Amino acid sequence: MQGTMLAFINGDVYTPTRIIAPGVVLVDGERILAVGRPEQVPIPEDARRLDAKGHIICPGLIDIHVHGGDGADCTDGTVEAVRTVARRHLRAGTTSFLPTTGSAPFPQMWRAFDAICEVMRRPGPGEARALGIHSEGNFFSVAQRGAHAAELLRMPDAAEREKLYSYVGYLARLTIAPEREGALEIIRYLSQRGVLISGGHSDALYEQVCVAMEAGMRHITHLWSGMSMLRRIGPKRHSGMVEAALVEEGLTTEIIADGYHLPTSLMKLAYRMKGAEKLCLVSDAMCASGLGPGEYEVCGLKAIVEEGGGVALTADRLAFAGSISTMQQCLQHVVQVVGLALREALEMCTLTPARILGRQSQVGQLAPGCYADILVLDRATLTPQIIMLGGEVVSG
C-alpha cells in the first residue's frame, strides 16, 4: 500500500525566491516536508513520484483581488456563487484567493460576507482556498468610482460600522477611499485587528494618503485604476494616490496584469519602482471569467464583453468594468509580453501576495511546513500541467 508521501521530481523548482535546477519537492499529507536538490532530499521507496518532465515546479498562484467567474460573483450573496468562483480559478492554477465583494446595498453585502464565511469554514472539493473576505465596495469617492454605481457609494452609519467590525477574523482586506469622512476611524480600528487596509477608488491627495498610512493603511488597490494622480489646484501641482503608491516605502500595491487595464510601459514602471517584493499581480476577474461574450452585471452596472474581446467594458464603452482573466493569464502576460523574468513574475503572484496578507508561513512558497499547493507549469506556455491543493492532485 502506497504511503502518504509524494515527490515532485525531474523539474526546475521555483520556490520562488530561488531556483533549484533540478529540484525535488517532498510532500507529506497536506504539507511540504522538504525542498532541495535530488541529493539533498531522499525520497522514501513507497512515496508516489510525480514526474514534472523537465517543466517548472512552483507554488500555487494567489489572487488577492478576484470578484467572480463562470457566471458567478462573490457579491451574489450565495454560498454556491462563492464555490463556483473558487472552482473556476482553481482550474487555472489559483490555489488561494480572496473572494472579493463589490458595491451593493448593505444587506446584500452582509449576505455576501456570510456566504464567504461559510465557504471558509467548510471548503468543498475542487475549490481554491478562500483566505478571507476582501471588501471592495461602498466606501469610495464618487469621482473615482469606476464601474461602481454612484448611488451605492456612501460611508456606513454607526450600526453598519459595527456590523462591518463583527466580521473581524474573516475580513482579510478592506479597500477604502481614505479621504472620506469617517474613513480614518475605520482604518485605525480594522488595521489594529489584522485587516489589510488598502486605498482605492480614491481622489485623495498625497498628504491624505500619508495620513491614512499613519492610521494603518498599507496597500493600494489596482494601481492607476480608479485613483487620483498629478493635478493642478490653482497654480500648484499636487500629487495623488498613484504617486504615493509608487514612492512610499510603506505601501505595497497591485496591478491588473490582464493586458488591457494597463499598457506595458506602466507595468514596467510599477515593477521598477516597487520591485517584486512590494508589487503583486491580481486578476480583478468578474463573473464573465471563463465564459464568452455577453451582457453581465457588475456592482449595480451593466457590463459588456464583446465578441473577441478580452475584458469587460461599461455599457458606454468608455471604461473597464473588470477583467475576465485568471492569475495564470496575468503571469503569462508579464513574462511573455512585458518581459519580466519568470522568477520575479512568479514571486509577484505567489509569495508577494502571501506576504502582503501576512500568510507567507502557510502559502505562497515551496518551503517545509507550508501547504502543499503546487503547480507544474509548461516551460514554454506557462499553462498548468499539474495542480495540487493541500497535498491532493486536483488536475493532471
Look up the CATH architecture of domain 61-363: Alpha-Beta Barrel (3.20)
Predicted pLDDT at 68 = 97
Q: Are 293 and 309 in contact (CB under 8 A)?
A: yes
**DSSP secondary structure of 337-374:** II---HHHHHHHTTHHHHHHHT-TTTSSS--TTSB--E
Least confident range from 65-79, 120-134, 137-151: namely: 137-151
Cell numbers placing 190: 480594522
Sign of CA dihedral 359, 360, 361, 365: positive
Classify domain 6-58+374-394 at the CATH superfamily level: Urease, subunit C, domain 1 (2.30.40.10)
Smallest CA-to-CA distance from 257 within 375, 348, 190 is with 348
Residue at 68: amino acid letter: G
Residues of each domain in the chain carrying CATH 2.30.40.10? 6-58+374-394
H/E run at residue 246? helix 241-247
Mean pLDDT for 259-282 is 97
Q: Are 116 and 82 in contact (CB under 8 A)?
A: yes
pTM: 0.96
Which distant-in-sequence residues (6+ apart) come within 8 Å of 151 by Cβ? 300
Cell numbers placing 99: 473572494
Predicted pLDDT at 292 = 84
Sign of CA dihedral 290, 293, 294, 300: positive
DSSP H helices, 102-203, are 106-121, 158-165, 183-191
Name the average pLDDT for the chain: 96
Residues of each domain in the chain carrying CATH 3.20.20.140? 61-363
Predicted pLDDT at 334 = 98
Predicted pLDDT at 2 = 43
Measured distance CA(160)–CA(281) in Å, rounded: 31
Smallest CA-to-CA distance from 366 within 11, 68, 3, 14 is with 14
Active site residues: 284
Measured distance CA(138)–CA(104) in Å, rounded: 7
Measured distance CA(230)–CA(383) in Å, rounded: 39
Mean pLDDT for 6-13 is 98
Segment 312-360, tens digit of pLDDT: 888 888 888 889 999 999 999 999 999 999 999 999 999 999 999 999 9
Reported as a pLDDT band with limits 50, 70 and 90, residue 3 is low
Q: Are 191 and 215 in contact (CB under 8 A)?
A: yes
Cell numbers placing 117: 464565511
Q: Are 23 and 36 in contact (CB under 8 A)?
A: yes
Which residue(s) pair with 253 in the sheet? Answer: 220, 279
Mean pLDDT for 111-128 is 98
Percent of the chain with pLDDT over 90: 90
Predicted pLDDT at 319 = 82
Predicted pLDDT at 336 = 98
**pLDDT exceeds cutoff 50 at 142:** yes
Mean pLDDT for 175-190 is 98
Mean pLDDT for 27-52 is 97
Which residue(s) pair with 69 in the sheet? Answer: 72
Segment 292-305, tens digit of pLDDT: 889 998 877 788 99
